[in-house]
Amino acid sequence: MLSNQAGDGKRTSLHGHWSSRMAFILAVTGSAVGLGNIWKFPYIAGQNGGGAFVLVYLVCVVVIGMPVMMSEILIGRRGRRNPVATMQLLGKEEGSSNKWGWVGGMGVIAGILILSYYSVIAGWTLAYVVKSASGVFVDASAAAVSDQFSGFVGDWRVVALCHTLFMGLSVFVVARGVERGLEQAVRFMVPALLLLMLVLLGYSINSGFFDEGVAFMFTPDFERLTWNSVLAALGQAFFTLSIGMGAIMAYGAYLPEETSIIGASAAVVTADTAIAILAGLAIFPLVFANGLNPADGPGLVFDTLPLAFGQMPGGVFFSTVFFILLSFAAWTSAIGLMEPAVAWIVERFHKTRAQATVAVGLLIWFIGLGSVLSFNVLAEFKFLAGTIFANVDYLTSNIMLPLGGLLITVFAGWVMCRNSTADELRGSGKLYKSWRLLARFIAPIGILLVLFNAVF
């Protein structure tokens, strides 16, 4: 069990620690930056008032997203165990109940369910790396590009193979442990992701339509900023940071004592937001340069952009770079989603990390077959929110994540005593008092608004 104590009385993690503050920041940034940052943020911003939406989003990140992230990290470091055991232990220590372990358990389950369908979509990006490199999109018509996508997702065997390959890559990294696996992976993949983004941005700047892309994202249009736009900004701020699913709590358990949680959280939030904005600046000039529709949403990635890349000089190279970028973003998120469940099995059942990772990977792979078949064989099998894929997506994104984030923040702000949280956040100055105000009142109200809007 993870009852080890360091010489100063602090708990130590059974799984090891990040070697540095930068390693932790890269790991959490990698977990937070995913497919949604690449297409969803710029698309939502452009459709909801451009610069006005971005302004509201940034406010939401600071007053909602960052306090929740800080809460999750401090709980993780305080407990030094998997999310389930950490919430149980701290619940008892703080004079409440070990039943708080159910909150950690919900995060573990949410991570498994999210990765079950996320892996399927990530598998698509792997397939499109190959398609791009082979030149199938060169001078292709819109109908041909659309047929490529529909033909690909319509073959369940190919989609299942890509899903299997992506899960295999994720299992490989997580099985190697914190320093040899997670840390080595993010030290390479996150800087590589940023470099690939900058390569695409450089191309977009020279596309001749960079000004149109900037205007689409950042020109304030307050007439289009409705209450639904505010809720969209609130939801995007919450979900883009990968909070509420136990991944950040698990990573926090490996955070060295000397690392500032406030400083690390600020760095992650800044990096995550910057990458989302860079994505928009890289993507939309290419869309406008080819007279395409910037409102295509998810279709922007697999229909619209391949068509754009196919018409431009050097399109094979830049299309391949773009889908490698997407694959890296998905990969870093996937290893974060797996970690809470793996840590729980290692600690609860005394299995080796490799055994736990393979078991979790197989479970996620099997559940993911439902999403694989949702686009072909079982496309007409619909209930509640739609296909199997749609139901798992709705349950996790709209209910489990905001509920988990709400309960984690309430636990840190109301159940944990001031001494415990001040000890982790290093002091009782203005920054600590600001976090406490936001975690106890503002963030829970904001999350409740998102949850209420999603359910009702």
- pLDDT tens figures, 88-146: 999 999 999 999 999 999 999 999 999 999 999 999 999 999 999 999 999 998 889 98
pLDDT of the residue at 6: 47
Measured on CA atoms in the order 365, 304, 275, 434, is the torsion positive or negative?
A: negative
CATH code that applies to domain 21-455 = 1.10.4160
Mean pLDDT of each 10-residue bin along the chain, 456 residues long = 46 84 91 80 81 89 93 96 96 95 96 96 96 94 90 96 97 90 88 87 87 87 85 80 90 92 93 88 84 70 85 89 90 94 96 96 98 96 94 90 93 96 88 95 91 82
pLDDT of the residue at 237: 81
Task: Please report, for residues 42, 155, 214, 222, 287, the alpha-carbon distance to residue 54 in angstroms, rounded to integers and kept in the order given.
Answer: 9, 39, 12, 11, 20
Of 108, 187, 118, 109, which Cα lies nearest the Cα of 333? 118
What whole-number distance in Å separates Cα of residue 309 and Cα of residue 320?
Answer: 9
Task: Please report, for residues 200, 252, 260, 282, 284, the alpha-carbon distance to residue 138 in angstroms, rounded to integers and kept in the order given.
Answer: 18, 45, 49, 20, 20
Task: Please report, for residues 140, 197, 290, the alpha-carbon distance to residue 147 in angstroms, rounded to integers and kept in the order given.
Answer: 10, 27, 19
Which pair of structure tokens corresponds to residue 421? 């949280």
Q: What value does the mean pLDDT of the chain take?
A: 89
| Under 8 Å between Cβ of 82 and 253 | yes
Look up the pTM and report it.
0.91
What whole-number distance in Å separates Cα of residue 113 and Cα of residue 395?
Answer: 9
* The Cα angle at residue 344 between residues 343 and 348, in degrees rounded to 5: 120
| Under 8 Å between Cβ of 230 and 302 | no
| Under 8 Å between Cβ of 87 and 250 | no
Q: Phi and psi dihedrals of 219, rounded to 5?
A: -70, 120
- Where do we find the tokens 């709400």? 406
Of 311, 298, 322, which Cα lies nearest the Cα of 209? 311
Contacts of 160 (CB under 8 A, 6+ apart): 369, 372
Mapped onto helix, strand or coil, the DSSP state of residue 11 is strand
Of 412, 438, 440, which Cα lies nearest the Cα of 86? 412
pLDDT of the residue at 14: 78
pLDDT of the residue at 2: 36
pLDDT of the residue at 297: 62
Task: Please report, for residues 320, 363, 369, 371, the alpha-carbon distance to residue 376 in angstroms, rounded to integers and kept in the order given.
Answer: 26, 22, 11, 10
pLDDT of the residue at 173: 94
| Under 8 Å between Cβ of 2 and 70 | no
Half-sphere exposure of 48 (CA within 13 A, CB side): 21
pLDDT of the residue at 7: 41
